[in-house]
Every structure is written in C-alpha cells, then in structure tokens.
C-alpha cells in the first residue's frame, strides 16, 4: 500500500482521447497531471476512428429488433458482425448482459443517460475547442444515412422517433434531394435520412494531439510507459511501471480504453468490458467527391471525409484483445463501398484496426472505484468516444474536486453490473 508523499498529484493511465480530455480539464482546474501511455499520445484506438463527432447519436446498441438482424449479420463471415468461435465462451456472459440491456426499461434508461451525456458533451467541447484553438477541426456538414429499400427505411423510423423525443433534428430525403446531398451514389439507395446537426472532425488523431498540446501548455506531462500494476490505500494511490519504477499519486484516473478492466480488477472492481474490434481503410481525398459522412447502417460501416483523406470502415469483430487483425474485413467493406459509390478509387489505401472499449449497456463507466475514493474510472465509451470525451473530462474533474457532478452519474457507476 503506498504511504510515501506523492510524487505526482494526478496520474492518468491512457493517452487516448478520454485520458487527454481529462488531463486538459484537470490542468485547467489547477491540478498537476502526468499521463502514462505505453504507445505515446493518441496513437491507438482514438487515432484512427471514423471521426464522427455525433452528439446526436444517442441510441444504445442493444434493442429488441436485434434478434432479427444478428443471424443475417453472422451469416456473412466478413459482414458487419463476427464472433470468433474460439472466443465465444469468454464472450457469452457479456452477450447475455447485452441482451438484457435491450429490454425496454433498461434501454430507455440508457437512452436518457446517453442523451444527458451528449448534451453536456456538446457544450463542453465548444468550450474546450475554443480554449485550445481547435475549432477549425470541426466539420458541420451533417451526415446522410442510406437505405436500399422502403422496408429498411421504415424499420429505421422507430429509432428516428426515439431521437426526435430528445430534440434531434433530421429529415428523410429521396430522389433529387438525396442525389444533391451526395452525388454519385448507386441507384440501389432509394431513401436517406439527413442529420444536419451531426458533426465530424477533420482528423481524430490530429484533434487528440492538439488537445494534448493544449494540455501540455497548461503543464500536463505525457510519459511513454506501460503501467503494470495499480494499487490504492486510504490516502494515496500508486502505479507500478513495467521496468520497476513506482509512482505514488493523490488521484489516479484509469482511462486505458479497452484494457481498463485489467487495471480495475487490481483495484477490486470486476467490470464486463469487452472489445468490439473495428477496421477501416484510409484513402486519398481524391478517391471520391465525398460531401459528408455517409452511413450504411445495414452493412455496419461509414464513409467519412477527413482532412486530405477519405476513411471507409466500421464492423464489429469479437475476438478479444490479443488475436491478430484480420484485414480481410477492411477489404470486404472497401469492396462494398465500391459498389455503393461507383467511381470510388480504392487504390493506395492504408488499413487499420482499433479496439472499441464496450460495456453491454453502451454507457461508459465514469465513477469512483468502489473501494477507493482517490481512484476515478473513465472508460468504456464504445462506438462513440470522441463526443463524450470532453464531458467525461469535465465529470472526472468534478469527481476529483469532490464537487457535484454536472449530470447524474448513477447510470455510469462502476457497481452497476
């Protein structure tokens, strides 16, 4: 148990977008922060994602229609969803929880919590972008979700009605308006939904690094190191780095993405964190004249305009943290995209895989550790980590300061499982 004077005020494990945003927020509040990451600043999942800055995307993934969709998804070995047979026994308890999270009462509670989080996130990001001078990285051209049949469009309406209840604007489009929003689409797309308030960022890696630069200007130190162990006592917490160095701190923040549950377990909390692995290919900007982010929900992927590039990707693969990537999944999405966007030049692509940190109810853990007031968890942001990062940073700051949190944190508590 650490007893010495702290060598660090706040230690954060993880320099993904969540750890970076928390570091910036804590530094703004005058705390002395050191962030430890084994691979540098914004180099893993937060670096290569699809750049959706989608405050309007509030629907939990589990829903009652899932039973209808899953067999179709699983039937295609390179389709939107795949489960490694060898991994299935380990995944089964998570799947059972996911299934229960789709019950109407659980789903509505998660939806309300996510909507509150996104409302906070939008205002927190506005402030953070202004203070850090990153506002120019925001793209506000909306997104276009596409459907291949009236039946598919009709099936989407329930979800749009749920969003409408939370004030999210959209309009269904067809024919000329659809073609104007994105010229050059395959005629197989008969309908679309345009979401004007859906934002993207110019490049998630550049945004993460720019917020980290801002945090550094406020005094945050980033250190490249692997954290091998964590512990906490009544006063101090401590981390042990691979190589043997040990660091005591007043406050410890665990923001280690899909690896966070391994650290939480050392602190006495069992968290059903899974990784939904995802893939993409980044093409030169000249590959297609892309007007805005396109969402092909039925096929589980999106196409995003970035600064100087186009990114095609998504999909969910359950295979754990250690299996090697299967880039055939990235290729399969690119092949589909070529059919959906005739004229797409799919050459010179760069493939990537990332680890979404996912909890069964699609909500993150933002919470004190159950046994240690000086340890704060901030992980599990799943499919959408970018928008809630600034809200999470704010909430971590509230917890660290012992202040009332900006939103009700009960739905995000670590003990809910």
Site residues, ligand FAD (CB under 6 A): 13-19, 36-39, 43-46, 49-52, 226-227, 255-259, 278-280, 313-314, 354, 356-357, 379, 381-387
Distance CA 368, CA 407 (A): 15
Query: Would you say 256 or 319 has its CB closer to ligand FAD?
Result: 256
Specify whether the CB–CB gap between 32 and 9 falls below 8 A: yes
In this structure, are residues 204 and 316 in contact, taking their beta carbons and an 8 Å threshold? Answer: no
Q: How far is the CB of 58 from ligand FAD (least distance, A)?
A: 12
Bridge partners (DSSP) of residue 37 are 224
In the complex with ligand FAD, which residue's Cβ is closer, 235 or 417?
A: 417
- HSE toward the beta carbon, residue 109, CA cutoff 13 A: 13
Minimum distance from residue 190 beta carbon to ligand FAD (Å): 25
Rounded to a whole number of angstroms, the minimum distance from the CB of residue 292 to ligand FAD is 13
Tokens of 163: 């969003």
User: What one-character-per-residue DSSP string does 313-341 give?
Assistant: EEEEEE-TTTSPP-THHHHHHHHHHHHHS
Closer to ligand FAD at the Cβ: 142 or 354? 354
Structure tokens at 14: 């993880």
Please report how close the Cβ of residue 199 comes to ligand FAD at its closest, in angstroms.
Answer: 10
By beta-carbon proximity to ligand FAD, the closer residue of 15 and 303 is: 15
Query: Cβ closer to ligand FAD: 228 or 405?
Result: 228
Cα–Cα dist 75/211, whole Å:
42
Alpha-helical segments (H) within 133-256:
150-165, 175-181, 204-217
Taking the complex as a whole, how short is the minimal distance between the CB of residue 227 and ligand FAD, in angstroms?
4
Query: Nearest approach, Cβ of 105 to ligand FAD (angstroms)?
Result: 26
Report the residue number, 195 or 258, with the smaller CB distance to ligand FAD: 258
Q: Answer yes or no: are the C-beta atoms of 181 and 226 closer than 8 Å.
A: no
């Amino acid at each position: 148990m650490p007893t010495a004077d702290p060598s660090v005020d706040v230690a954060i494990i993880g320099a993904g977008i969540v750890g970076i945003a928390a570091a910036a927020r804590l530094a703004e509040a005058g705390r002395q922060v050191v962030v430890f990451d084994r691979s540098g600043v914004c180099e893993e999942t937060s670096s290569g994602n699809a750049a959706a800055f989608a405050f309007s995307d509030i629907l939990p993934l589990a829903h009652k229609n899932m039973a209808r969709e899953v067999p179709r998804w699983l039937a295609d070995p390179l389709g939107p969803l795949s489960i490694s047979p060898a991994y299935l026994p380990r995944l089964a308890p998570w799947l059972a929880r996911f299934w229960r999270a789709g019950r109407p009462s659980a789903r509505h509670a998660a939806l309300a919590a996510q909507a509150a989080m996104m409302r906070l996130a939008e205002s927190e990001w506005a402030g953070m972008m202004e203070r850090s001078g990153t506002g120019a990285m925001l793209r506000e051209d909306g997104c276009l979700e596409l459907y291949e049949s009236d039946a598919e469009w009709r099936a989407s309406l329930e979800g749009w009605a749920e969003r409408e209840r939370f004030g999210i604007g959209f309009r269904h489009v067809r024919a000329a308006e659809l073609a104007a929003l994105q010229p050059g689409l395959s005629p197989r797309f008969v309908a679309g939904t345009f979401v004007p308030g859906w934002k993207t960022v110019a490049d998630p890696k550049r945004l993460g690094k720019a917020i980290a630069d801002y945090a550094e200007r406020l005094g945050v130190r980033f250190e490249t190191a692997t954290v091998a162990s964590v512990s906490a006592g009544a006063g101090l917490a401590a981390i042990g780095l691979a190589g043997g160095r040990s660091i005591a701190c007043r406050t410890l923040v665990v923001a280690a993405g899909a690896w966070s549950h391994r650290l939480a377990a050392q602190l006495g909390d069992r968290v059903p964190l899974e990784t939904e692995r995802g893939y993409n290919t980044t093409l030169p900007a000249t590959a297609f004249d892309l007007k805005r982010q396109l969402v092909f929900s039925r096929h589980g992927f999106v196409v995003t305009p970035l600064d100087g590039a186009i990114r095609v990707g998504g999909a969910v693969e359950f295979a754990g943290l250690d299996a090697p990537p299967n880039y055939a999944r990235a290729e399969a999405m690119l092949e589909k995209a070529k059919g959906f966007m005739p004229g797409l030049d799919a050459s010179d692509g760069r493939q990537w895989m990332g680890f979404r940190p996912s909890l069964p109810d699609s909500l993150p853990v933002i919470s004190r550790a159950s046994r240690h007031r000086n340890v704060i968890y901030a992980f599990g942001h799943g499919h959408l980590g970018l928008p809630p990062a600034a809200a999470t940073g704010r909430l971590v700051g509230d917890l660290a300061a012992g202040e009332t949190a900006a939103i009700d944190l009960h739905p995000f508590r670590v003990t809910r499982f």
